[in-house]
Amino acid sequence: MRFSGLRVLKEGLTGNKVWQSHWRDATPKDAYDVVIIGGGGHGLSTAYYLAKEHGITNVAVLEKGYLGGGNVGRNTTIVRANYFLPGNSEFYSHSLKLWEGLEEDLNYNVMHSQRGQIALFHSDAQRDAAIRRGNAIRNQGDDVELLSVADLKRMLPYLDYDQARFPIYGGLLQRRAGTARHDAVAWGYARGASDRGVDLIQNCEVTGIDIEGGVVKGVQTTRGAIKAKKVAIIVAGRSSQVAQMAGMRLPIESHVLQAFVTEGLKPCIDHVVSFGMGHFYISQSDKGGLVFGGDLDFYASYAARGNLPMVEHVMEAGMTLMPAIGKAKVLRSWGGIMDMTPDGSPIIDKTGVEGLYLDAGWCYGGFKAVPGSGFSMAHLVATDRHHDPAARFRLDRFRTGRGLMDEEGTGMQHNLH
Ligand SMILES: Cc1cc2nc3c(=O)[nH]c(=O)nc-3n(C[C@H](O)[C@H](O)[C@H](O)COP(=O)(O)OP(=O)(O)OC[C@H]3O[C@@H](n4cnc5c(N)ncnc54)[C@H](O)[C@@H]3O)c2cc1C
C-alpha cells in the first residue's frame, strides 16, 4: 500500500475503504537470525536498515508494550545536527542527512519540518563558546549562523530580551534543524520493516537472555523462548535492566524527563528555541500546541512520570524567557525514562558476549538519532564492523577512560548531561 497525495484524495472521496494495517501483527517463530529487544525508534530503524541495506529479513522486534509507546512517542521531537565534539558531530550529521530523505525513503509522512533551531546565549563567554561550536559544525559540513540581538528581535519578537537574570546576547541558528512527528517516525519504520519481512511482535517482554559458553543463543519472553543467532539490546531507559539479564552492569542511570503541551494556539512560534541557561526549550506543533520541556528530574527512576518541583522549574523558565506564555493553558504533561551515560554520549557496540549487541545511552537526545542509530547499528549487527560515523560510540570508553565524549563538559554526573 503506497501513499501519495492522489491516493489520499481518492480514498477521501470514496469513503476510505481500502486502507490496510500499517504492519503485520506477527506471531513469534521459534528462531530468527536476529532478535531485536525493544520496539522504539532505534529498534525499529535498526530492523528496517537490516532488511533494506543488508538483506537480513529473518528478524523479530520484540516489544513489551506497544510500538511507539516508549520514549519515541514521548519526546519533544527536536531534530538537529549541531554537536561539537568529534564522534558526535559526524554521527548526528549523518543522521540529519537521513532525516532529509526519510519521508521519500519510507513513503510515509513523518512531518519532518526544517523550521530552524535557535540556541540562545547570554554572556560574552557564551558567545565565544557558540562561535567555537559554530565553527566545529561548519567544519563538519553542516549549516549554522550566528544571530545578533537585532536579528533575534526580528525573528523572535515575543522573547523578553532584557530580563535581569539572563539578558539575551544572541543565538546560534541551524536552519536545517527542526521537528518531526514522533510516533509517525516509529510507524513509518515499523511499516517499512514489516513490508520487508521483519516480524514485529508486541506485548512480548524479554525476561531472560540465553547464553552458552559466552555465545548468545536466544531470549526468554512472556510469549515463550525464541532462539537467535544474534540479539540486539535496544531498550533505551530499560538498558541496565535488560543488560543485567546477560550479566552485564552498564554505566547507565535511568532518569525521568518531562514534557508539556498547551492548548492549540494560532501560529506564534516559528522555530525551535533553546534557552540553555533556564533549561528550557520550546516549539509549536502543527496542531498549534506549544511543546516544551526542561531538565531531568534530579533522581534516578523507572517511572514514566515526573514530579512537581521540575514542573515548577520549567514553568518559571518559560515565564522568564517569554512572559506571554503565562496566558496559555497547559493541557498535558508526561515523562519518559532516559538512559543517561556518564559522558552524555551514546553506545553502539558489541558486548563481551558473542552475538550480543548494545545500542543505548541516548540520554535526552535520541530522537534525532533514530535514523543514524538504526543505520549504524544495522551495519554493526550485519557485518560485525563499526559503521564509521558511529565508530567512537564504544562501551569500553567508560572502563578505560579513553575516548570519552563529554559534550556538555559536566563530568561524570549522569543527571547533569
Ligand atoms: C520528554 C522527552 C523529551 C525528549 N525530547 C527529545 C528531543 O526533543 N529530541 C531528541 O532527539 N530526543 C528527545 N528525547 C529523547 C528520545 O526520545 C530518546 O532518546 C529515544 O526515543 C530513545 O530511543 P527509542 O526511541 O528506541 O526508545 P523507546 O521508544 O523508549 O524504545 C525502547 C523500547 O524498549 C521496550 N522495552 C524495554 N524493556 C523491554 C523488554 N524487557 N522486552 C521488550 N521490550 C522492552 C520499551 O517498552 C520501549 O518501547 C526526549 C525524551 C523525552 C522522554
Kindly report the protein residue whose alpha carbon is nearest to atom 35 of ligand 1: 38
Residue 215 placed within a domain: yes
Residue 280 placed within a domain: yes
Residue 273 placed within a domain: yes
- Residue 397's CATH number: 3.50.50.60
Q: Do both 171 and 276 map to the same domain?
A: yes
Kindly report the protein residue whose alpha carbon is nearest to atom 13 of ligand 1: 365
Cα 125 from Cα 111, distance rounded (Å): 36
**Which of 294, 312, 340 finishes a domain?**
340
Ligand 1 centroid to residue 272 C-alpha, Å: 21
What are the beta bridge partners of residue 233?
37, 358
Q: Do both 242 and 263 map to the same domain?
A: no
The predicted pLDDT at position 270 comes to 97
The predicted pLDDT at position 309 comes to 96
The predicted pLDDT at position 408 comes to 83
Boundaries of domain holding 62: 5-78+182-251+343-416
**Which of 289, 309, 340 finishes a domain?**
340
Q: Do both 408 and 268 map to the same domain?
A: no
Q: Do both 228 and 352 map to the same domain?
A: yes
Q: Do both 246 and 258 map to the same domain?
A: no
Q: Do both 324 and 297 map to the same domain?
A: yes
Residues 177, 80: contact at Cβ < 8 Å?
Answer: yes
Contacts (Cβ under 8 Å, ≥6 apart) of 259: 74, 75, 76, 291, 292, 293, 333, 334, 335, 336
Q: Do both 277 and 167 map to the same domain?
A: yes
Residue 312 placed within a domain: yes
Query: Per the structure, how many domains does the chain have?
Result: 2
**Which of 321, 340, 359 finishes a domain?**
340
Ligand 1 centroid to residue 71 C-alpha, Å: 3
Residues 289, 277: contact at Cβ < 8 Å?
Answer: no
Ligand 1 centroid to residue 79 C-alpha, Å: 15
Amino acid identity at 268: C
Q: Which of 71, 115, 238 for a ligand 1 pocket mutation test, highest count of atoms within 8 Å of Cβ?
A: 71
Residue 27 placed within a domain: yes
Average per-residue pLDDT in the chain? 96
Low-confidence ranges of the chain (pLDDT < 70): none
Biggest CA-to-CA distance, the chain? 65
Residue 91 placed within a domain: no
DSSP state of 42: H
Q: Write down the pTM of the prediction.
A: 0.97
Residue 154, classified by CB atoms within 10 Å of its CB into exposed (0-12), middle (13-18) or buried (19+), is: exposed
Q: Which of 75, 99, 256 for a ligand 1 pocket mutation test, highest count of atoms within 8 Å of Cβ?
A: 75
The predicted pLDDT at position 80 comes to 98
Residues 331, 262: contact at Cβ < 8 Å?
Answer: yes
Cell digits of residue 33: 537470525
Q: Do both 265 and 212 map to the same domain?
A: no
Q: Where are the alpha helices (DSSP H) in 142-210?
A: 149-155, 182-195
Cell digits of residue 32: 530468527
Q: β-pairing, 117-121 with 170-174?
A: antiparallel
Residue 109 placed within a domain: no
User: Ligand 1 site: residues with CB under 6 angstroms?
Assistant: 37-43, 62-65, 69-72, 74-78, 205-206, 234-238, 242, 257-259, 293, 336, 362, 364-368
Ligand 1 centroid to residue 184 C-alpha, Å: 14
Q: Which of 61, 67, 207, 235 for a ligand 1 pocket mutation test, highest count of atoms within 8 Å of Cβ?
A: 235
The predicted pLDDT at position 10 comes to 95
The predicted pLDDT at position 415 comes to 78
Cα 362 from Cα 389, distance rounded (Å): 15
Q: Cell numbers 533494506 label which residue?
A: 52
The predicted pLDDT at position 21 comes to 93
φ, ψ at 311 (rounded to 5°)? -60, -45
For residue 253, give the 3-state DSSP assignment: strand
Cα 96 from Cα 186, distance rounded (Å): 16
Residue 94 placed within a domain: no
Cα 52 from Cα 255, distance rounded (Å): 34
Ligand 1 centroid to residue 369 C-alpha, Å: 11
Cα 249 from Cα 251, distance rounded (Å): 7
CA distances from 344 to 21, 70, 76, 146, 317 (A): 38, 20, 18, 25, 23
Q: Do both 349 and 377 map to the same domain?
A: yes
- Residue 121's CATH number: 3.30.9.10
Cα 348 from Cα 33, distance rounded (Å): 19
Cα 307 from Cα 282, distance rounded (Å): 20
The predicted pLDDT at position 188 comes to 98
Ligand 1 atom closest to the Cα of residue 67 is 49
Residue-wise pLDDT for 361-378, tens only, equals 999 999 999 999 999 999
Q: Cell numbers 520514549 label which residue?
A: 71
Residue 6, classified by CB atoms within 10 Å of its CB into exposed (0-12), middle (13-18) or buried (19+), is: exposed
